[in-house]
């Protein structure tokens, strides 16, 4: 069975590394679009030729205008996404606007959250937060009902991964948002493993905020993380982690307390990372141009095929079979997965290994069935 939207394979020529490797590592570092060369050259030319004038010719607004390119992929309105270096910074900034009372001090998340994020959340205990970690039975997912039951009137914040990095299990964001709203908690979704490989409707689902970044499915490279805050709550938040770009009159250079700007500007800090904002745009434009719905349809067909190939070859798959709960990655387990992963990479089948998950194989819209067959037949040979 051919995966749908084969017309997308015409875009393979936009990603030079696809000519040289079997590129199945899109959960980690999406392929670089060739247009990034031109975009970075534009940055260098502007710096060289326009010098300081470049700030007034687009650079100053770039942390928000670049976020606008993502708005359709996240299902949010323009002017509500602030670009930051990475998820850790974006999340720390959001957390700096959250306080806790003895009656409402719980942070509820699952044990399968990305550890980077947990490290920050653990730090919230210094502000009086109590951490509640919802366990998983199988290391693949957490039953939605169990997570919903842990969210109650004592819950202040529910910061969870939409798609889990180990297994690609997709949480039911809409049901979790409904529960958070019912009890008055804030839902902060980490959409890093979802953005660019499936449609997101953050506003319609009722999420309050989201963080993510560009290195994976958005093919945008490092240094371009993002924070979305729903316009519904944005202007009620006062981040302590802030800077002059978040002031409504930064060039007034007023001493004393900040006068917060509105919308995404309120969630900026100091001088933005302009080169990273140039390098992420080509990927965003290609992904948004194709559309997340089309990408999701192709991705689901490719991951189904990959699961069948892996199971037929005798491997255990640690990713949900149910398409509703499956992201873009297929985790293939073997007791020697770490060695096998190294050997696959040595044969130019690019993938990665994570403890308890195994080998993560992640086709994007530009991959073919033949590449999946090559990956699994090589893996089978190496395991024999
Ligand atoms: C779910 C999730 N969140 C966050 C990150 C990365 O966070 P940061 O941008 O702080 O490096 C990853 C990347 O591996 C991830 O999979």
Could you report the per-residue pLDDT of 91-130, keeping only the tens digit for each? Answer: 999 999 999 999 999 999 999 999 999 999 999 999 999 9
Burial class of residue 226 in the structure, from the number of CB atoms within 10 Å of its CB (0-12 exposed, 13-18 middle, 19+ buried)? buried
Let me know if 23 is exposed, middle or buried by CB neighbors in 10 A (0-12, 13-18, 19+): buried
Assign 207 a pLDDT band (cuts: 50, 70, 90).
Answer: very high
Name residue 353's beta-bridge partners.
359
Please say whether the beta carbons of 111 and 85 come within 8 A: no
Q: Ligand 1, residues 165, 167, 214, 221: which to mutate, most atoms within 8 A of Cβ?
A: 165
| pLDDT of the residue at 200 | 98
Average pLDDT value for residue range 349-376:
97
- How high is the pLDDT of residue 345? 98
Q: Answer whether residue 242 shows pLDDT above 80.
A: yes
**Contacts for 52 with CB less than 8 Å, ≥ 6 apart:** none
Mean pLDDT of 374-381: 98
| Average pLDDT score over residue span 43-59 | 98
Q: Report pTM.
A: 0.98
Q: Contact, 122 vs 131, CB < 8 A?
A: yes
Using CB distances shorter than 6 Å, the residues near ligand 1 are 86-88, 114, 116-117, 161, 165, 190, 192-193, 213, 225
The pLDDT tens digits of the residues spanning 134-154 come to: 999 999 999 999 999 999 999
Closest ligand 1 atom to residue 88 Cα is 10
- Tell whether the model's pLDDT for residue 1 goes beyond 80: no
Dihedrals phi, psi of 328, to nearest 5 degrees: -95, -5
Instruction: Give the mean pLDDT of the chain.
Output: 98
Ligand 1 atom at minimal distance to the Cα of residue 89? 10
Q: How far does Cα 287 stand from its chain's mean position?
A: 14
pLDDT of residue 5 exceeding 90:
yes
Q: What is the mean pLDDT of residues 311-339?
A: 97
pLDDT (mean) for 11-27: 98
pLDDT band, residue 2 (cuts 50/70/90): confident
Q: What is the pLDDT of residue 288?
A: 98
Ligand 1 centroid distance, CA of 49 (Å): 36
């Amino acid at each position: 069975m051919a995966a749908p939207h084969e017309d997308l394979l015409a875009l393979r020529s936009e990603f030079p590394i696809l000519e040289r490797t079997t590129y199945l590592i899109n959960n980690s570092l999406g392929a670089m679009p060739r247009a990034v060369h031109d975009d970075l050259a534009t940055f260098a030319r502007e710096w060289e030729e326009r010098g300081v004038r470049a700030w007034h010719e687009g650079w100053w607004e770039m942390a928000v205008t670049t976020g606008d390119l993502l708005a359709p992929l996240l299902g949010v309105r323009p002017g509500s996404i602030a670009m930051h270096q990475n998820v850790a910074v974006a999340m720390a900034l959001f957390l700096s606007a959250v306080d806790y009372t003895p009656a409402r001090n719980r942070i509820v998340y699952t044990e399968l959250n990305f550890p980077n994020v947990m490290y920050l959340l653990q730090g919230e205990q210094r502000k009086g937060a109590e951490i509640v970690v919802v366990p998983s039975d199988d290391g693949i997912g957490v039953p939605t009902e169990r997570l919903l039951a842990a969210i109650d009137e004592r819950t202040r914040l529910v910061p969870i991964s939409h798609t889990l990095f180990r297994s690609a299990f997709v949480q039911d964001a809409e049901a979790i948002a409904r529960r958070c709203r019912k009890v008055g908690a804030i839902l902060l979704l980490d959409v890093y493993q979802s953005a660019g490989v499936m449609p997101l409707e953050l506003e319609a689902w009722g999420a309050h905020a989201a963080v993510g970044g560009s290195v994976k499915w958005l093919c945008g490279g490092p240094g371009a993380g993002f924070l979305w805050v729903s316009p519904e709550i944005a202007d009620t938040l006062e981040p302590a982690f802030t800077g002059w770009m978040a002031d409504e009159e930064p060039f007034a250079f007023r001493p004393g307390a900040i006068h917060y700007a509105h919308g995404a500007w309120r969630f900026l800090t100091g001088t933005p990372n302009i080169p990273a904002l140039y390098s992420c745009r080509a990927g965003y434009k290609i992904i948004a141009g194709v559309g997340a719905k089309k990408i999701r349809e192709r991705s689901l067909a490719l991951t189904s095929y990959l699961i069948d190939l892996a199971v037929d070859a005798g491997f255990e798959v640690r990713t949900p079979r149910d398409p509703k709960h499956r992201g873009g990655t297929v985790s293939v387990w073997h007791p020697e997965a770490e060695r096998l992963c190294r050997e696959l990479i040595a044969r130019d089948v690019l993938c990665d290994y994570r403890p308890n998950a195994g080998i993560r194989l992640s086709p994007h819209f530009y991959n073919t069935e033949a590449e999946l067959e090559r990956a699994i037949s090589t893996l089978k040979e190496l395991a024999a």
